[in-house]
């Protein structure tokens, strides 16, 4: 049991030599104890209701029957909530998230769609009172964005947002086509957990190639006379991260390293999942070929998740950040595998 292991580790004097790691471990231990206490509370309530049910059957008291029914409904709701929490039991699910949106082929149409998706996730974070910040963005030539990276911090932000990884498809009448023809656009969403002190991500300076260049705005215009933008290439993994949003070279380098750490954690998650699926004899892609959801605004209005079959006839609400039902349907369908 993880809580027992953490308690044993906390008893060793050397445990506190790394204060940051120790505090993260104790925070995790407190969360685990809270979870255990909640389940024990529900177990106690179930036992009490079992006794009440036996008493009601023996006495035939209608008032007891009403009380029993109300209490059972309340307990059922709490059990449903806890059952859903099980879907957020992955090793990294309680972390903040780094989310990236990339426009697919299709120029302005796809770039506008990528910006719509970014707005959707930012609105979702706002609804949950999470902290969200766009930390890197590459504007489109005419409208929208070619790509963007956002940091979203809040309880289980990664656990929820991992449900959004994959290709999102939009069908609509184009606002950029003079003939108002129907267009189909695609955008790719990636989600990585924030690297935390409890998981060591070692990046050796010798493993990183650093390239600096001038930050550019829309249309390729230079917005900085100095080379403040940074591109990092992590040689062991082949990952490349660029950042040009900040005003200083050091700030861009720190942001790029933050994104790189998150991507390395996600790479480890994917490695474990690939191995698990290999042993199971299954394979699931996470790139451009993996379409997860369709948003149709014409000739009818619907959002449908292709993994679960869940659909809603109110796409505007979804695009305004009402994602919980779609997320919940998917996460419940994946109980068992770890995140």
pLDDT of residue 338: 42
Confidence at residue 279, expressed as pLDDT on a 0 to 100 scale: 64
Query: How many whole angstroms separate alpha carbon 252 and alpha carbon 255?
Result: 5
pLDDT tens for 141-167 read 899 999 999 999 998 899 999 999 999
> Where does the pLDDT of residue 221 fall: very low under 50, low under 70, confident under 90, or very high at 90 and above?
very low
Q: 197: pLDDT confidence band, cut at 50, 70 and 90? A: low
Q: pLDDT tens-digit profile of 57-67? A: 777 666 677 77
Distance between CA atoms of residues 99 and 80, nearest Å: 28
CATH architecture of the domain with range 91-339: 2-Layer Sandwich (3.30)
Residues 255 and 234: their CA atoms lie apart, in Å, by 15
- In the sheet where 239-243 sits, what is the strand order? 208-213, 229-234, 239-243
What's the mean pLDDT in 275-294? 69
* Other beta carbons within 10 Å of 202: 7
Question: pLDDT tens for residues 94-136?
Answer: 889 999 999 998 889 999 999 999 999 999 999 999 999 999 9
Domain locations along the chain: 2-88, 91-339
Pairing of strands 291-296, 166-173: parallel
Strand 302-305 relative to strand 291-296, pairing? antiparallel
Candidates 93, 118, 103; CA nearest to 266 is 93
Residue 75, pLDDT above cutoff 90: no
Secondary structure (DSSP) of 179-191 = T--EEEEEEEEEE
pTM here is: 0.74
Give CA–CA dist 211/232, Å, rounded: 6
Q: Where are the alpha helices (DSSP H) in the chain?
A: 2-10, 19-59, 62-85, 108-127, 157-161, 249-280, 315-319, 324-333
């Amino acid at each position: 049991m993880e809580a027992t292991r953490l308690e044993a580790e906390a008893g060793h004097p050397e445990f506190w030599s790394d204060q940051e790691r120790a505090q993260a471990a104790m925070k995790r231990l407190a969360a685990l104890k809270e979870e255990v206490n909640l389940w024990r509370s529900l177990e106690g309530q179930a036992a009490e209701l079992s006794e009440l049910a036996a008493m009601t059957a023996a006495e035939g008291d209608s008032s007891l029957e009403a009380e029993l029914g109300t209490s059972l409904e309340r307990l059922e709701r709490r059990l449903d909530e806890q059952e859903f929490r099980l879907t957020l039991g992955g090793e990294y699910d309680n972390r903040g998230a780094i989310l990236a949106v990339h426009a697919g082929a299709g120029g302005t149409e796809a770039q506008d769609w990528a910006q719509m998706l970014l707005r959707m996730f930012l609105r979702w974070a706002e609804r949950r009172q999470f902290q969200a910040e766009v930390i890197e963005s590459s504007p489109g030539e005419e409208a929208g964005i070619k790509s963007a990276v956002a940091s979203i911090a809040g309880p289980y932000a990664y656990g929820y947002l991992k449900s959004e990884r994959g290709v999102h498809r939009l069908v609509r009448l184009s606002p950029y086509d003079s003939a108002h023809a129907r267009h189909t656009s695609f955008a790719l969403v990636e989600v990585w957990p924030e690297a935390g002190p409890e998981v060591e991500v070692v990046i050796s300076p010798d493993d990183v190639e650093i390239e600096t260049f001038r930050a550019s705005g829309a249309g390729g215009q230079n917005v900085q006379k100095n080379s403040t933008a940074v591109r990092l290439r992590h040689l062991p993994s082949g990952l490349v991260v660029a950042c040009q949003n900040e005003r200083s070279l050091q700030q861009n380098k720190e942001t790029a390293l933050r994104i790189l750490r998150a991507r390395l954690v996600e790479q480890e998650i994917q490695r474990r999942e690939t191995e698990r699926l290999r042993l199971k004899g299954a394979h699931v892609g996470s790139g451009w070929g993996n379409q997860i959801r369709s948003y149709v605004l014409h000739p009818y209005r619907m959002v449908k998740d292709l993994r679960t079959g869940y659909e809603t006839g109110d796409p505007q609400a979804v695009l305004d950040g009402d994602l919980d039902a779609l997320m919940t349907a998917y996460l419940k369908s994946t109980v068992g595998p770890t995140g």
